[in-house]
Structures are given as C-alpha cells and as structure tokens.
Structure 1
Amino acid sequence: MPLTGKRILVVEDEPIIAFSLEDMLLEDGADVVAVGSLEEGLDQVEAGTFDFAILDINLHGEKSYPIAFELVRKGVRFVFASGYGDAEHPAELADVTTLTKPYVLDDIRDIAIDN
C-alpha cells in the first residue's frame, strides 16, 4: 500500500469528513493523527513527527496558516483542503496545493509520496 508507514496529520473541523478521511488513510496503511482545531493542530506539530499533513483551510472560523508555517519550518510536506475550491493563500504559501473536498485517495498519494 502506497501510504504504508507514513505518519499523517489531519486537521479537519468537520467530524464526518475527518472520520471519512482518517478511515481512507488508515485503509491505505497510514498512521493517522486527526484533530479538529487550530490549537490541537499546532500542539501536534510541535510535539510530533509527521511525514505529511492535510490541513482544512477554515477551522471554526480560523485559518490553518499558523500550522502551515510550522510545518514549513519543520520541513513537513502538506496540502490544504477546501470545500470551496482553490483559495488565495499568503504569498509564502502560494505554491502549496489545495485539494478540493471530497478527497480522492490517488490525489493524496501523488502528493504525499512525491520525492
């Protein structure tokens, strides 16, 4: 399985979407840590080591950019996720891929496994 052995952080504030994504990643062999808020996401990035992350852009009215900047600092590959299509990100994050929900496992694999 392509994601076998990858430790993936999922930051998603909608429980049904988070559970669905977590199940999809677990079935593909990933080790998943899923959280639902900006604060929890920052705590996880600070405390843990991840191979990849999927960040919902909007978390209960807050942007996930502080988590993104911390992931960049730590050299962790990640994507943004949005139910609204492509979003306008801060200039420093303009090159980060934005996946549109619902998630497609092949899209996640392509980015998570690249390089």
Structure 2
Amino acid sequence: MKVSDVSVRILICEDNPLIALDLQAIVESEGHEVVGVCESAAAARERLSEPFDFALLDVDLVDGTSFELAQTLQARGVPYVFVTAMRPKDIPEDLRDARVVAKPYREDAILATLPQH
C-alpha cells in the first residue's frame, strides 16, 4: 500500500469503538493524521475550533445524528463523508450531495473519499 505524499488532518465521529479504531488505522496507514475520535455530536462540536481538513461521520451517534455537524462543516467548506448503514434517502435533503460510504465498508472505499491536496 502506497503511503500518501500529503497528510490530511481528519476528525472521526463514530460511536462504535471498534469501527472508530478501524477507520483510524485505515487513514493513519496512509500517513494521515487523526486529530480526534468522537462518539457524540457534542464532543465533535467541541473540536470544531481545532484545525482539520476532512471528517468521517457516522450518522447515528450516542447523542443523536451528525446532521447538524455536517451542516456546520458544509457551511465552513470542510469536506466530509458519511460512513453509515443509513439509507441515502434518509439523509436530509440539504445534505444529500454528500458522499456516503455504506457500512460495512471496504478500506479502499474509505481511502477513495479522502481529499487529494
């Protein structure tokens, strides 16, 4: 596996610890930096003041959905992708242009969503 030439700073929002660790291992194996792993939308909101380039968002978190967080990222121009078992038609209309990686996911599907700087 080729390690990326450019490191992307990534925020992971995932309430399942095993999936969060897997996502972290996938992106770090390519030389990217995980700036935080959050299991709740509230914890993710606290990290919004920190610099990051991209977010991997599970839709269903321990305290609700990540939709409001996605809307904030969208307004700030920060790219993100939903990593979810939710059907795309259940995503709010204003977020339906977002990329979605369906669970269970493949490593290459996750890596293909990362921004190319």
Give the TM-score band, short-chain normalised. Answer: 0.7 to 0.9
> Shift of residue 49 of structure 1?
1.6
Structure 1 CA distance, aligned partners of 2:5 and 2:93?
A: 30
| Residue 83 of structure 2 is aligned to residue 41 of structure 1 | no
Deviation by residue 1:32-63 (Cα, 9 ceiling, x = unmatched): 02111110111112x11211111000012511
Where structure 2 has 5 or more consecutive residues not aligned to the other structure, the ranges are none
Please report the RMSD computed on the Cα atoms of aligned residues, expressed in angstroms.
Answer: 1.9
Where structure 1 has 5 or more consecutive residues not aligned to the other structure, the ranges are none
Q: Is the 8 A contact 1:14 1:36 kept in 2?
A: yes
What aligned pairs does 1:84-99 form with structure 2 within 5 A after superposition?
84-99=86-101
Calculate percent identity across the aligned residue pairs.
30
Match of 2:11 in 1: 9
TM-score by length of 2: 0.85
Pair 1:101–1:86, CA change in 2 (3 A): same
Structure 1 CA distance, aligned partners of 2:116 and 2:91?
A: 22
For these two proteins, the number of residue pairs brought into alignment is 114
Match of 1:62 in 2: 64
